[in-house]
Amino acid sequence: MSYVAEGYNSFETKKSPSGIVKYLPDPKSVIALIQSGKLKEHILLVQGGTTTFLAPALSMGAIGVITMSGAPESHLGILSREFQMPCVMTAYLTESDSRYVTGGNNEAHFAAMIKALDGKKVQLHCEGRETGRVALLS
């Protein structure tokens, strides 16, 4: 299996949810997804591990999360473990040299991640101790 992205694994799990990646840039987009009734069809893509506005989606049954920054010790890392929801953090595209840089200008990195993943069907693989992976499905 080839992986389009990988990052830190929030916790080890044999769960490997699949769904369409949905980029959620703000609280309004989270509410809209919840109200659509299609939350469980999506793997959620957010900018950071401190994205607290994602909490309602987690409590309502989100199946998986990909963050573009943040560590397993961050807000979303902790919540993903509490909800037992697979979470790949500080993800990067495997075919790119672009990586998130703490304190740096990461706009181009975020834009590339969103372009590559948003709207694509993926499966999360979080059985590894440290590395979580994102497989592109056809």
Q: Number of helices (H) and strands (E) in the chain: give both, helices first.
A: 4, 7
Pair 126, 86: CB distance under 8 Å: yes
pTM, entire model: 0.96
Buried b / exposed e along 103-133 (16+ C-beta atoms within 10 A): eeebeebbeebbebbeebebbbbbeeeeebb
Burial tier of 73 (Cβ tally within 10 Å: 0-12, 13-18, 19+): exposed
Task: List pLDDT tens digits, range 78-89.
Answer: 999 999 999 999
Residue 109, by phi and psi: left (phi above 0), alpha (psi -120 to 50) or beta?
alpha
Q: What is the DSSP code (8-state) at residue 129?
A: S
Q: How far apart are CA 60 and CA 83, in angstroms?
A: 10
Q: How far apart are CA 1 and CA 124, in angstroms?
A: 12
Q: How far apart are CA 24 and CA 3, in angstroms?
A: 22
Task: List pLDDT tens digits, range 50-75.
Answer: 888 898 999 999 999 999 999 999 98
**What's the average model confidence in pLDDT over 128-132?**
95
Check pLDDT > 90 for residue 135: yes
